[in-house]
Amino acid sequence: MFWWQKPDPPEPTEQPGPTERAEQPPTSLSPQPLKPFIQQLYEDESLTGALTDNDAKMLLAWGQAQLERLADESPQVDLDQATQNLRRLLKTINQLIAKRSELSDTDFLGRLLTLAEQWSAFSD
């Protein structure tokens, strides 16, 4: 179960009195705006078609963590553009895994490093 599939916590039954201060949650980006962008990752089979279920889960969890990190570190980030960039990266990783048996170790490593550089440029 993913965080967006979990039920909302129950409403508190007791309200603070006039002299009590309710604890304020830290001011950070709510995960709600991220939900549609993260769902795009999990619903797009072209991002994980060449992977085993476990590998797909690992890749998608990494992708989700990247979006969450970007949103936390840069509240003004364009999530639509970031998601598009991330989806391109995940799709390229999927294609690279599909061709792994055709590549030498050197070629495979070179392509991985290129992907790492591309993501670094997108996420900065």
**What does the pLDDT look like over 61-120, one tens digit per residue?**
999 999 999 889 888 888 899 999 999 999 999 999 999 999 999 999 999 999 989 888
What is the model's pTM?
0.69
Q: What is the pLDDT of residue 103?
A: 94
**For tokens 């995940």, what's the residue?**
90
Asked if residue 97 lies in contact with residue 44, where contact means CB atoms within 8 angstroms, the answer is no
Residue 60 confidence (pLDDT) above 70: yes
Q: Angle formed by the axes of helices 53-73 and 79-98, to 10°? A: 150
**pLDDT greater at residue 67 or residue 33:** 67
Give the distance between the most distant pair of CA atoms in the chain.
70
What are the start-end ranges of the H helices in the chain?
A: 35-43, 53-73, 79-98, 105-123
**pLDDT greater at residue 107 or residue 27:** 107
Residue 59 binned pLDDT confidence (cut-offs 50, 70, 90): very high
| Mean of per-residue pLDDT scores for the chain | 80
